[in-house]
Amino acid sequence: MSATVVFMGDGLIAGGRWDEWLPGYEVTNLGISGATSDDVLSHIDLLVEQNSDAVVLGIGTNDLGWRRSDEHVVRNVETILVTIRRRLPETRILIQSVLPREREFAEVIKSVNRHLWQFAPTTHAQYLDLWPALASEDGELNPAYTDDRLHLTNEGYEAWLAELIPGLETLFEIPPSSSAIPVQHA
């Protein structure tokens, strides 16, 4: 039986044909077009019900479109990661960086991604940095991968998959979590 993987996040996740592109896994796509980190938090029970072997999370770009601060996005994603880890201690977690979009968002996206990269290990989540594969030198989503500086073309998804496939392979090589050692009370 192949490993079960649930993708959760925004329209970039929703638009992926993950089940087709990742035939070695049983994939469920819970991406929601237009979703923000607040939306993912409100749907966390749906994710937990899946009780999958792994969760791939991609969220944050729509928050920025609504002018939410980097602190708001980071706080919500941290809460999502902690909730997943607490409620699904044996599930592997892959948090993906917020993808680049229009140049005006580059610095706030870099800030969010830096915080997520630092926080992920505290929840035994793996961090997948997609920025180098998808951003232009000026911090904008590479024009070769988009028609509107936000959504991905097929070429954009191919560049993402080139990073995601090895990321998933690594994810399944590492134990899912390190549960707290129970303390015996005298």
Show the DSSP H helices in 17-153 as ranges: 18-21, 37-42, 44-50, 61-65, 70-87, 106-119, 131-134
Residue 75 near residue 111 (C-beta atoms within 8 A): no
CATH code linked to domain 4-173: 3.40.50.1110
**Domain spans of the chain?**
4-173
List pLDDT tens digits, range 82-107: 999 999 999 999 999 999 999 999 99
User: Does this model's pTM top 0.85?
Assistant: yes
d(CA 143, CA 174): 35
Residue 126 near residue 5 (C-beta atoms within 8 A): no
List pLDDT tens digits, range 34-66: 999 999 999 999 999 999 999 999 999 999 999
